Amino acid sequence: MERENPCKHEGKQVLLVEGINDCHVVMALCKTCHVPENFGIYQCGGYVEALRRLNALILQADKPEIIGVVVDADLPDVTVRWQQIKNKPELKAYPFPENPIADGVIFPKQKDRPRLGIWLMPDNKNPGMLEDFLLELVPSNGIETAKNCVANAQIQQVASFKEVHFSKAVIHTYLAWQDEPGKPLGQAVTAQALRPDTQTANAFIDWLTRLFNP
C-alpha cells in the first residue's frame, strides 16, 4: 500500500502552506510542541497556488471543516499581502479586520464556508517569509554573527543572492555552523538547532492549536 505524502493531505482539517520547507518546519514544530495531530498539511508550491487551492476547497461541494493558510507576507508591507487575500471574491463572506492580527486571524464557520485561519509569515506584523520566522528561533549572538558574515560576503562580492533573500542566507549560514552542518530546516527544529521557545513561535503554535481545536 502506497504511503500517504505527509505534505499532500486531503482531509476535513487541512493547513495550506507554500512550500516543502514550510511543511517540514510546521510538522517539526507540532511534534516538538506537542500540538494535537488532528489536521494535515498540504504543500501548494507557492503563494498564488495556495490561494488557488483555498478558493477551490471553499467552492467544492465536499468542503473541509477547517482550513488554515500560512503564506509569506513578503515585501514591501504586510498590509499589501493582507489586502490581496481580503479582496478575494471567495472570501467575502468572512469578516476581515482592516489589518492582520498579531496572534493570527481565525474566522468561525460562515454559512456555507468552513472555519478559516490565516497566518502571514513571519509574525502578521512585519514583511518577510519563513526564514525570518526561523531567525527568531536562533540565539541573538548567533544571528548577529551570521548576519555579519553574510554582509561581509556581500561586501567582498562573493554573494550573488537577491537582497530579498537575505534572511535565507543568514539562517543557512547559521545552520552551517551547527552539529551536522546543512540540516534541512525542519530537521534543524527537531534537532534543537532552532529552538521554538520564542514569543513568535509560541504565538504561531497557539494559533494552530486554537484553529484546529475549536
Give the mean pLDDT of 200-212: 96
Question: How open is the CA angle 85-19-49, to the nearest 5 degrees?
Answer: 40
pLDDT of residue 3: 62
Q: Are residues 135 and 113 in the same domain?
A: no
Residue partners of 56: CB distance under 8 A and separation at least 6: none
The mean pLDDT of the chain is: 94
Residue partners of 182: CB distance under 8 A and separation at least 6: 172, 175, 176
Distance, in Å, from the CA atom of 196 to the CA atom of 120, rounded to the nearest integer, reads: 17
- Any domain includes 188: no
- Any domain includes 149: yes
pLDDT digits (tens, 9 = 90+) for 148-164: 999 999 999 999 999 98
User: 60: phi > 0 → left, psi -120 to 50 → alpha, else beta; which?
Assistant: beta
Q: Are residues 37 and 116 in the same domain?
A: yes
- Any domain includes 37: yes
pLDDT tier at 1, thresholds 50, 70, 90: very low
> Cell numbers at residue 157, please?
562580492
Q: Are residues 99 and 167 in the same domain?
A: no
- Any domain includes 66: yes
Determine the 3-state secondary structure of 128 from DSSP.
coil
Q: Are residues 74 and 169 in the same domain?
A: no
> Cell numbers at residue 24, please?
517540514
Position 204 pLDDT exceeds 70: yes
Distance, in Å, from the CA atom of 211 to the CA atom of 208, rounded to the nearest integer, reads: 5
Residue ranges making up the domain that contains 151: 131-183
Q: Are residues 85 and 115 in the same domain?
A: yes
Residue partners of 31: CB distance under 8 A and separation at least 6: 190
Q: Are residues 201 and 167 in the same domain?
A: no
Domain total in the chain: 2
Q: Are residues 17 and 53 in the same domain?
A: yes
